[in-house]
Amino acid sequence: MRIDDLPGELLMWVLIGSEVAVFAAGITVMEAVRLTDPAGFATAQGMLDGRMATLNTALLVTSGLFAARAERDGGRAGLLLAALGGVAFLAVKIAEYTADAARGVTMEAHPFFTFYYLLTGFHAAHVIAGVVVLVLVAIRPRRDTAQAAAMFWHMVDLVWVLLLAPVYLLG
Amino acid sequence: MDPLTRNWLWLLALIGATVALAGWPAALLAVAFLKAVAILNGFLHLTRASGWLTAFAVPLGLWLAAIWALHAVG
């Protein structure tokens, strides 16, 4: 096992490892705080719409497929389709937050919702950054820049699949 | 079939499994682990880097086990 064996830029792997560690720490703290009020956390989590989160998972992995193809082929279309998937993810997220707010799901309503908004909001910020990177790289695509953008996008995807169950589904 | 398409279909199947396994925390976290490995393996190509998939997957698996333990205690 050698550092040189890693595909792509080493810096991207440092970023991927760091981001996963940051989100893992946040989820771990959320689960630890949950021990103080398991019933309250379960009730609060039950107010979220897991269907929208599941739809967003499908959107992100489909977008990841386009990013992976762009990485392989160096194509502009794949990068733009991946970015479009990110925009669709954000549109669903905005609809979800709007519906949450209408149900009284606010940051102050329960400690669980503070974690919910912090973790999913921080992830959404990464989606926005990823969309910007994908579009910028698509202007003048090269194999190395397409690979770096795709790796960032797969990191966004990876973090989301790790967030999904603890934030939306465990109960 | 293109390996990227196969990986995408596998991920969609795992999303379907997530929906079916609602209410089963250990199973949901196991499926989350499989999805993470599919992304690391199929999209980030870690299988091309000898030993690195294990280096990422083992800590992830241990962390998800810890999350399950915290959840089960509560």
Show me where the domains of chain A are located. 11-169
- Asked whether the beta carbons of A34 and A71 are under 8 A apart, the reply is no
Give the one of A6, A24, A158 whose C-beta lies nearest to B49's C-beta: A6
Residue range A58-65: average pLDDT?
97
d(CA A21, CA B27): 22
Mean pLDDT in residue range A106-118 = 95
Average pLDDT, chain B: 94
- Best mutation site among A27, A115, A161 for testing chain B: the one with the most B CBs within 10 Å? A161
Asked whether the predicted pLDDT for residue B1 surpasses 90, the reply is no
Cβ contact, residue pair A58, B15, below 8 Å? yes
Angstrom CA distances, A159 to A19, A36, A90, stand at: 8, 26, 15
Instruction: Say if CB A74 and CB A141 are below 8 A apart.
Output: yes
Do A79 and B18 form a contact (C-beta atoms < 8 A)?
A: no
**In this predicted structure, which of A22-31, A49-58, A118-127 has the lowest mean pLDDT?**
A49-58
DSSP B41: I
CB contact under 8 A, B8 and A62: yes
Which CATH architecture describes the domain A11-169? Up-down Bundle (1.20)
pLDDT band at A1 (very low <50, low <70, confident <90, very high): confident
Whether chain B has a CB inside 8 Å of the CB on A43: the answer is no
Q: Is the pLDDT of residue A74 over 90?
A: no
